[in-house]
Amino acid sequence: MSTTAELKETILDLGKAFEQFKAENDQRLADMEKKGHVDPLLAEKVDRINKDITAIAKLKDQLEVLETKIARGDFGGGGTTELDRAKAEHKMAFDTWFRKGTDNGLRDLEVKAALTTQSDPDSGYLVVEEYEQAIDRVAAAVTAMRRLARVQQISGSSYKKLVNQGGASSGWVGETESRSETNTPTLKEIVINAMEAYVNMAASQSTLDDSRINLAQWIEDEGAIEIDEEEAAAFISGNGVKRPRGILAYPLVANASYSWGNIGYVVSGAAAAITEPNAIISLQHALKSRYRNDSAFLMADSTLETVRKLKDGNGAYIWRPGLEQGAPELLLGKPVETDDNMPAIAANALAIAYGNFKRGYMIVDRIGLRVLRDPYTNKPYVMFYMTKRVGGGVVNFEAIKLLKVAA
């Protein structure tokens, strides 16, 4: 079956599963209202279909990515330009260095292949372009924040920007009247530092000598995923000490008392639970209207499975599946992303984030993934020290709001 046909079939399956889910969940809600309790078998069936919807939706996303790659012809391969030939030469030299430790002019080839303009023999070698692209794809698949936030490449150790908090004043004046001085806007400086994430892996020389080993896959699976998981957690809850500062790590205030430097939150109605949509609607409206055009919800999978059961005052489900190619899942008309680094529903948990993340949060990447090869420290193993410089932080505190589960 072709990818296009499989994608169409998956979308149909998603629609069927959602219709079945609505029917069974409607029955569950009716039983709860009439009898005060739900048949355990019915509750189990609703939960099973709910999980099936999650799995089908994820498969749809994966097939859409694959369909895009096919349409673009994005499967690597050789090129005919001078730069393509330079990159191919660099790739061969990198593979030789990785296996044998012989650099064969690798530093000069990095410059020739347009991977860097710098010469720094003590900082390790840049991973070849094909490997680096694969690493970025893994990152985008695992953490929602790389899809939601603004990602900025930087050449220094930090990124700085000024934010205008407003404060300017104006007035009305007659044609010949004097003009008094008005207030000046308040500017705040935001600084995001690139921190260093690392893994230090060992491989025996005999493994490296075995030509059957796919070194690119080995790098991706054993090193890059570890770094990606570290950064994914940091973008959500990192404390900013030697790592990015996550959206949940800033001072919190009730949204009615919001001030710059804090993130505003609203509280769910039920204790230790989310049982009705009003709190989520309040969360959406806690965000100023000018940020809502490109806004999205962010929550754990388990939270989405709970939210998927909720109806509005007209009896309509507030969650909708994406039943067309490229269409996202929608919650109250806005895209919803899942990241299991977000807390599950529990008393006082910050279970749902909502906002314009591209305006509210920035990820900075410094250069790329670097590898240092050390065949001496831990014989008979060759150590590969992999590093990535990455930072993250809130750049607009107005643009992100949180839902706090009541105690």
* Residue 171, domain member (yes or no): no
Task: Evaluate whether residue 103 is within a structural domain.
Answer: no
Q: With respect to residue 87, please indicate whether it lies within any of the assigned structural domains.
A: no
Residue 35 falls in which region: left (phi positive, over 0), alpha (psi -120 to 50) or beta:
alpha
How many folded domains does the chain comprise?
A: 2
Residue 64 sits in the same domain as residue 135:
no
Residues 62 and 135 grouped into a single domain:
no
> Do both 14 and 150 map to the same domain?
no
Give yes or no: residues 136 and 55 share one domain: no
DSSP 251: -
Both 68 and 206 in one domain: the answer is: no
Give yes or no: residues 62 and 147 share one domain.
Answer: no
Tell me, what's the pLDDT at 206? Answer: 76
Residue 200 phi/psi, 5-degree rounding, is -130, 95
Position 384 scores a pLDDT of 86
Residue 100 lies in a domain: no
Residue where the block lists tokens 């962010």: 298
Phi, psi of 197 (to 5 degrees): -100, 145
Residue finishing a domain among 41, 57, 72: 72
Question: In 3-state terms, what secondary structure has residue 323?
Answer: coil
For residues 227 and 295, membership in a common domain is answered with yes
Residues 237 and 357 in one domain: yes
Asked if residue 95 is part of any domain, the answer here is: no
Query: What number of residues does the chain have?
Result: 407
**Domain around 26:** 3-72
Give me the sign of the Cα torsion angle 329, 331, 335, 336.
Answer: negative
For residue 154, being part of any structural domain is answered with: yes
What is the predicted pLDDT for the residue at 80? 61
With H, G, I as helix, E, B as strand and everything else as coil, classify residue 126: strand
In a domain, 68, yes or no: yes
Q: Give residue for tokens 């590898």.
A: 371
Q: Do 54 and 136 belong to one domain?
A: no
* Whole-number Å distance between alpha carbons of 102 and 159: 36
Is 31 strand, coil or helix? helix
Instruction: For residue 145, give the CATH number of its domain.
Output: 3.30.2400.10
Distance CA 323, CA 284 (A): 23
- Regarding whether 194 and 47 lie in a shared domain, the answer is no
Question: Would you state the pLDDT for residue 180?
Answer: 80
* Binned average pLDDT, 10 residues per bin, the chain of 407 residues: 84 96 95 91 95 93 82 57 77 75 76 62 66 67 86 90 73 81 77 92 77 62 84 95 96 95 94 94 96 96 96 94 92 95 96 97 88 86 89 96 97
Residue 118 has a pLDDT of 55
pLDDT on residue 149:
96
Does 367 reside within a domain? Answer: yes
Do both 282 and 200 map to the same domain? Answer: yes
What pLDDT is stored for residue 215 in this prediction?
Answer: 63
Co-location of 251 and 366 in the same domain: yes
What is the tens place of the pLDDT at every residue in 7-62?
Answer: 999 999 999 999 999 999 999 999 998 999 999 999 999 999 999 999 999 889 88
Last residue of a domain, which of 72, 98, 116? 72
Residues 6+ positions from 368 with CB-CB distance below 8 Å: 115, 126, 127, 132, 388
